[in-house]
Amino acid sequence: MSEYDFAIVGAGIIGAAVAYKLSQRQPGARILVFDKEAYCARHQTGRNSGVIHAGVYYEPGSYKARFCRQGLEHTFELCEQFDLPHERCGKLIVATGQHELSALDALFERCQQNALNPQRLTAAEIQRREPAINAVGGFFVKQTGITDYKAITQCLLQQAQHHGRCQIHYQHSLKTINELPDGTLLRFSHPQGESEVKAAKLINCAGIYADELIRRQGLKCDFRMLPFKGEYYRLNSHYNDITQHLIYPVPDPAMPFLGVHLTRMIGGYTTVGPNAVLTTGREAYNRLLSTDAEWLHLFAHGDVWKLLWRYKKAAVKELYSSLSKSHYARLVSRYCPGITAADFLPYRAGIRAQAVDRNGLLVHDFKFVESAHALHVGNAPSPAATSALPIADEIINRLF
């Protein structure tokens, strides 16, 4: 049986950042990263919007606000150091009617509290900067950027292999976790069968499966990860340069992650999206793909019904955007007139791993669950890709 100092479940950006930081702090440590897929960043990390968030929306003092602010700078530094694709294009948040101006004011204030120095813009100033955008007012956040998080994940893993004693085992799915007096005993399944590994510390970065692994270890877990699909469309190539900045509508303050935005992507094209629709399975990327058992399991608990009741208005709106392409296009044309469903090309969807508590409340902040020899990243929703490096620092500080 092989022995390691650290075993990391998940080769998404959080697992990769932990491996990278550990290999820097303890170059002699034996690190194993494993993932059930055949390559890294197969799930959330490789299917997101690619935005390096500045931290506009987050509650001052929360993990999200702190890690996002630090992650913003660390991500740009990493991209520069390793010549990874990035662009600091800035983000424009726009109000499309007078009724959104008070929410815009509140967001502007939040942005100032988060030390971002936003710039207020009138309708005419927005038109001058972005001729395709129609708004009654807005503000500009210059720090926001874009990148390719899959490329970042690959780079972090390569660096961990070059500079540390890090191994990566793909197609290894963690099945059981036994905590021992001096570490953890892990059982995997893989194409050749099953094997066991002993690790002094286990770090669970399994995204949407994080809660399952917490329970498999026998720890108390008072939340469930629920799958929210984010559907995108790619705009026709004649819209590649439609805007210079990222364009976001004013969100509902209770659910700042909702609101279809217009995103310049690395690669030179533009996407619209994502929406957020509760879906039938943790990997149900295509509308009907989910095993019956998973669908039943998802809806067999009270939390999901409480959630649907609590957020019924938003749930119906998001579902409608999924069912009707022309409704989706209308959401974008509110601030970018002229866009219609005919301009939409298919684009891959992502599935957000969102923790929900027993009362059906969304858990907004990052969450960690610990035992003597294991640390589980219980909730790492957006902006966790931006925040991956400071989250890794936090994890390592908790381990020692």
Tell me which residues touch ligand FAD (CB under 6 A). Answer: 9-15, 34-37, 42-45, 47-51, 53, 173-174, 205-207, 209, 230, 274, 350-352, 380-386
Ordered strands of the 223-230 beta sheet: 277-278, 223-230, 350-357
| Tokens matching residue 228 | 């929210």
State the nearest-atom distance from the C-beta of 31 to ligand FAD, in Å: 15
State the nearest-atom distance from the C-beta of 383 to ligand FAD, in Å: 4
State the nearest-atom distance from the C-beta of 168 to ligand FAD, in Å: 11
Closest to ligand FAD by CB, 114 or 137: 114
State the nearest-atom distance from the C-beta of 355 to ligand FAD, in Å: 12
Closest to ligand FAD by CB, 88 or 101: 88
State how far the Cα of 328 lies from the Cα of 320, in Å rounded to an integer.
Answer: 8
| Tokens matching residue 373 | 């020899």
Q: Which residue minimizes CB distance to ligand FAD? A: 12
Closest to ligand FAD by CB, 13 or 94: 13
Strands 246-249 and 270-273: unpaired
Bridge partners of 362?
356
Closest to ligand FAD by CB, 137 or 344: 344
State the nearest-atom distance from the C-beta of 102 to ligand FAD, in Å: 27
Closest to ligand FAD by CB, 248 or 311: 248
By CB atoms closer than 10 A (0-12, 13-18, 19+), residue 244 is: middle
State the nearest-atom distance from the C-beta of 33 to ligand FAD, in Å: 9
Closest to ligand FAD by CB, 293 or 342: 293
Ordered strands of the 145-147 beta sheet: 51-52, 145-147, 86-87
By CB atoms closer than 10 A (0-12, 13-18, 19+), residue 237 is: exposed
CA-CA distances (angstroms) from residue 125 to 120, 134, 198, 337, 338? 9, 11, 60, 17, 20
* Helix or strand run (H / E) with residue 309: helix 302-310
- Taking CA 263 as the corner, what is the angle to CA 312 and CA 136, rounded to the nearest 5 degrees? 70
Closest to ligand FAD by CB, 118 or 207: 207
| Tokens matching residue 362 | 């969304």
Of 4, 1, 6, 2, the closest CA to residue 395 belongs to: 6
Which amino acid makes up residue 48? N
State the nearest-atom distance from the C-beta of 279 to ligand FAD, in Å: 11
State the nearest-atom distance from the C-beta of 189 to ligand FAD, in Å: 9
φ and ψ at residue 264, rounded to 5 degrees: -70, 130
Closest to ligand FAD by CB, 8 or 121: 8
Of 363, 400, 357, the closest CA to residue 381 belongs to: 363
| DSSP designation for 238 | G
| DSSP designation for 255 | B
Closest to ligand FAD by CB, 127 or 317: 317
State the nearest-atom distance from the C-beta of 42 to ligand FAD, in Å: 5
State how far the Cα of 346 lies from the Cα of 355, in Å rounded to an integer.
Answer: 28
State how far the Cα of 42 lies from the Cα of 207, in Å rounded to an integer.
Answer: 11
